């Protein structure tokens, strides 16, 4: 029987390896499928995307090359990954025979909200300080000058992509959406999380999990238990 795939989109500065350990939290029949975008990890020599539509087009192509016809999929994204996941879900919903079970968005306002505070164009130190304030989190590699030089172009591209993002379509999905919020997230409150209800004509719910904005970096297990319970049955509840 074809497994259900959980397609994972990266947050700003992250690569596919962030999701490497997630498989162990999921039951048999559920498979993690991380998307690796250019400019990171083994693709670091490739120019990173600064346009969400192009990133979502590539993600869609990558996913369809890796799954079989008639597959059942769900899509997950956190912060920047949430808007990429939304764009990818629109593309996958138009693929004949593909069963899009649910979209999971995390740590993000609704797709029409945009970002008020910006970091694009700032000098390096101010840019990194602004990113730390956005995320409440800083990758340890950014403390190393050589690693910082390698990571900054990709991180700047991700931030530009996020800050310039506008949805390609105002048409809501006909796929259920679960919007996830870290209980102590001081960057994105529940009112912003609830904006995702407008993005679907199917079921919508919000879930709060322990932790701050980057709760999934501290402990992904509660999130994956939630997703696993949702996707454990063949039909949506």
The residue annotated as part of the active site, out of 49, 78, 162, 213, is 213
| Phi, psi for 102 (deg, rounded to 5) | -170, 150
Q: Is 181 annotated as catalytic?
A: no
Q: Is 79 annotated as catalytic?
A: yes
Give the relative orientation of helices 80-93 and 52-66 as an angle to the nearest 10 degrees: 60
Sign of the torsion formed by the C-alpha atoms of 80, 86, 89 and 90: negative
The residue annotated as part of the active site, out of 49, 71, 78, 79, is 79
Rounded to whole angstroms, the Cα distance separating 143 from 97 reads 46
Rounded to whole angstroms, the Cα distance separating 139 from 185 reads 18
Q: Tell me, letter by letter, the H, E, C secondary structure of 179-237.
A: EEEECCCCCCCHHHHHHHHHHECCCEEEEEECCCCCHHHHCCHHHHHHHHHHHCCCCCC
The residues assigned a catalytic role are 79, 213
């Amino acid at each position: 029987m074809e497994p259900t795939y959980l397609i994972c989109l990266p947050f700003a500065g992250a690569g596919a390896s962030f999701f490497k350990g997630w498989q162990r939290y999921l039951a048999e029949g559920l498979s993690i499928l991380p998307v690796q975008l250019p400019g990171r990890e083994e693709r670091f020599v490739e120019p990173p995307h600064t346009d969400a539509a192009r990133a979502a087009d590539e993600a869609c192509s990558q996913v369809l090359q890796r799954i079989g016809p008639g597959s059942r999929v769900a899509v997950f994204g956190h912060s920047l990954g949430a808007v990429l996941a939304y764009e990818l879900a629109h593309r996958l919903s138009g693929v004949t025979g593909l069963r899009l079970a649910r979209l999971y968005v995390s740590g993000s306002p609704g797709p029409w909200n945009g970002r008020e505070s910006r970091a694009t164009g700032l000098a390096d130190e101010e840019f990194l300080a602004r990113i730390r304030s956005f995320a409440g989190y800083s990758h340890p590699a950014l403390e190393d000058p050589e690693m910082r030089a390698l990571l900054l172009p990709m991180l700047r591209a991700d931030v530009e992509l996020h800050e310039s993002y506008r949805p390609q379509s105002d048409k809501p999905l006909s796929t259920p959406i679960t919007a996830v919020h870290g209980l102590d997230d001081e960057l994105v409150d529940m009112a912003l999380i609830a904006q995702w209800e407008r993005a679907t004509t199917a079921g919508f719910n919000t879930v709060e999990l322990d932790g701050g904005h980057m709760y999934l970096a501290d402990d992904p297990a509660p999130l994956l238990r939630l997703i696993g319970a949702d996707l454990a049955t063949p039909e949506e509840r």
